[in-house]
Structure 1
């Protein structure tokens, strides 16, 4: 073959992407995950002793799940069989069984295992149970919800952590060296912001910038890579984790954290209607009667967003989030509802006391319905002291215990006065009965 033809072939051959060129060849080269791979840690020990167990690797995108599975297979000496749950099916599992039987055992890696349905996941069970497969599944979703309990019981879950800033910077330096480029601190930080914690995306960004720019600056990075890419899944764990962080920030009366998580979700593409519904729930559950205006404001924000949409309506959501965060907190109404439900479930249908029943007919009046009922508006302060309203078996039971915060503090004071009046009335009735 002539030299010119050889040069032409290499010129047209596809370039191996930088992440693939820098893929670690040993566990020592892996960046991050030292809680699993450090000296004496579980996966390092398993690899060194060649005693691998079936496992689920759970973590965000681009933290090395596939790389780690390959390196564990290499350290164990087992054949590596890879199945993509996006493209594969039961046929691929059958093929893996045949391959594993030829060698006696194999490490079977299933990428995005959460995308396999129950029947497909069940197909692994007998082979994991027999030891034919050392099973490694990779997922970005919570295995508790996405992996069958039977398969989960046969595999340990190892949580892979997002790479730290220092670890990501070390990848930028390694990538820059491989590309023969120089990337300064501000440009590296711009790359980190664009990659949003995904190491594969980060190295792809390094390669793209190094190929497109002679001089690398933050402005040039943004020009080459475009808008930053945010890791956000409106239906997955990442979304619900952020929604949880938002709720807990409001409950914890931290307006700065509340507005941050709200913006993070809006910035990632979350539906403002979903966020407004969560604020309605927060207003009812975590603020309640400590500040009834909170629910009114949450409703107004929801209606405003419905009419304006994004981005104009987002200001109404921000105002509501800040108000809910600084409002006095009380879950007394939530606890009262919960306690009352538990009482009803325990006691069933207790009869309505006769003095609280209507008496629309002569028969009902003759049976005593409505007798001894005292019309509250005819009493001092519109309160019939001593009158009871619960079923007889529950008289004295308290479901609602207002907090001392906000409006509920005044509600608590009023209820104390009314209960004291009830006790005085009860004492007076006891004295009258004794005199008779």
Structure 2
């Protein structure tokens, strides 16, 4: 019984697949395609242990296609080319039955490695299925991303995880030989962090540690058996999200000490430097914004620097940026403004651009009044004229409300002097 429990009970059919009903349920966006065997190249994006690899295997089995697997951790361009050559020889010219190439952790592939996939995907020699825990918009090159559909897998909820446990107990021959009672599951579910594979591994560890074939699962038993095996920081589990949340909230709360502590937790856990820097880049705009616009410049420089340098020196740059952001004045006014504007667009639809603001590219457009009566701000005192720049239906609507800090108070005065009572500055 060397094979882990999670592998032994891995579902082989859609009927056995648990969760992700939005993708593979009776009305799932992938269900019909899988049954018909018409599979596009796709990226499966979701947290660890949510069934990305399992779903790829099922897609290959259901569509009766050859299935090649590469892991981005230990595969290079040479490995990719070898698989593509095999795929071409196995009848890749027939689009409906071309082989599937599954790449686990595709976000770890370099640009050149991803580039090497483009021709095979575009010509239909392979159908690519990539699995990633990171946002593909950041980690997959645009040329490859444009050739793939992105499907999001959700973290397992409590009922999904409990169903996984019960399925394992009923399906696995070794567990069938035991007398297992699931009296309490809270500790198992919490320690798993929503990761189905981790849940089954912990469950197997607990059962293995009991001498008797009769095992009553309680929270205390699980904690006693697993405590010595828990890690300070699991960058693929629940703590990955909890600790970065604490980090960002410490920056937002202007506490540099807490920010550096949570940063240290992530660094010691081996967290990806780009993940940390990316979160600070977002915080610089969402939580600091126009209260200190330089914060975004500092955060962007940090992202570029740590992407080049890496650990261990990157920790110094990350620390400098975290402290700078935590000690900056705060404003979420830009974040709130775009949210209000997007909501208004959803409510009002595609309102017409006022004629003076339109660009008269042709004589017909000029005859129709495009650009007529436009007042060029630089022709007026202080480079300002009180014209209308919103659609008529939204005239006077305020989206940006300056925050209460030194810089935005100055912006408020500046805007009030120009717009008087038109906007609520």
Task: Using structure 2 for the length normalisation, give the TM-score.
Answer: 0.58
Specify the SS of the correspondent of 1:35.
Answer: helix
C-alpha RMSD over aligned residues:
4.8
- Structure 1 residues 149, 328: closer, same or farther in 2, change over 3 A? closer
Alignment partner of 1:56 is 2:43: yes
> What's the CA shift for 1:165?
1.0
Alignment partner of 1:74 is 2:61: yes
Q: Which residue of 2 aligns with 1:184?
A: 182
- Structure 1 residues 250, 117: closer, same or farther in 2, change over 3 A? closer
Q: Which residue of 2 aligns with 1:172?
A: 165
Alignment partner of 1:194 is 2:195: no
- Structure 1 residues 268, 174: closer, same or farther in 2, change over 3 A? farther
Specify the SS of the correspondent of 2:266.
Answer: coil
User: 1:213-224 alignment to 2 at 5 Å?
Assistant: 213=210, 214=212, 215=215, 216-224=217-225
Q: Which residue of 1 aligns with 2:152?
A: 159
**Structure-1 separation of matches of 2:282 and 2:90:** 57
Q: Which residue of 1 aligns with 2:70?
A: 83
Alignment partner of 1:232 is 2:235: yes
Contact 1:195 1:228 in 2 (8 A): no
Alignment partner of 1:94 is 2:81: yes
Alignment partner of 1:133 is 2:126: yes
Specify the SS of the correspondent of 1:269.
Answer: helix
User: 1:11-410 alignment to 2 at 5 Å?
Assistant: 14-104=1-91, 105-177=98-170, 178=172, 179=175, 180-186=178-184, 188-213=185-210, 214=212, 215=215, 216-226=217-227, 228=230, 231-232=234-235, 243=244, 269=266, 285=288, 331=333, 395=382
Contact 1:58 1:141 in 2 (8 A): yes
> What's the CA shift for 1:132?
1.4
- Structure 1 residues 270, 286: closer, same or farther in 2, change over 3 A? farther
**Structure-1 separation of matches of 2:189 and 2:380:** 65
Unaligned runs of 5+ in 2: 92-97, 269-275, 293-321, 338-377, 386-399, 418-425
**Structure-2 separation of matches of 1:267 and 1:165:** 31
- Structure 1 residues 153, 217: closer, same or farther in 2, change over 3 A? same
> What's the CA shift for 1:175?
2.7
Specify the SS of the correspondent of 1:182.
Answer: strand
Specify the SS of the correspondent of 2:70.
Answer: strand
**Structure-1 separation of matches of 2:99 and 2:19:** 26
- Structure 1 residues 18, 128: closer, same or farther in 2, change over 3 A? same
> What's the CA shift for 1:93?
1.8
**Structure-2 separation of matches of 1:49 and 1:279:** 41
Q: Which residue of 1 aligns with 2:369?
A: none
Specify the SS of the correspondent of 1:82.
Answer: strand
Task: Using structure 1 for the length normalisation, give the TM-score.
Answer: 0.57
Contact 2:39 2:127 in 1 (8 A): yes
**Structure-2 separation of matches of 1:167 and 1:263:** 36
**Structure-2 separation of matches of 1:284 and 1:53:** 39
Specify the SS of the correspondent of 2:27.
Answer: coil
Unaligned runs of 5+ in 1: 1-13, 290-316, 336-390, 420-436
**Structure-2 separation of matches of 1:192 and 1:18:** 16
> What's the CA shift for 1:223?
2.1
- Structure 1 residues 40, 329: closer, same or farther in 2, change over 3 A? closer
> What's the CA shift for 1:170?
1.2
Specify the SS of the correspondent of 2:147.
Answer: coil
**Structure-1 separation of matches of 2:244 and 2:159:** 27
Specify the SS of the correspondent of 2:128.
Answer: strand
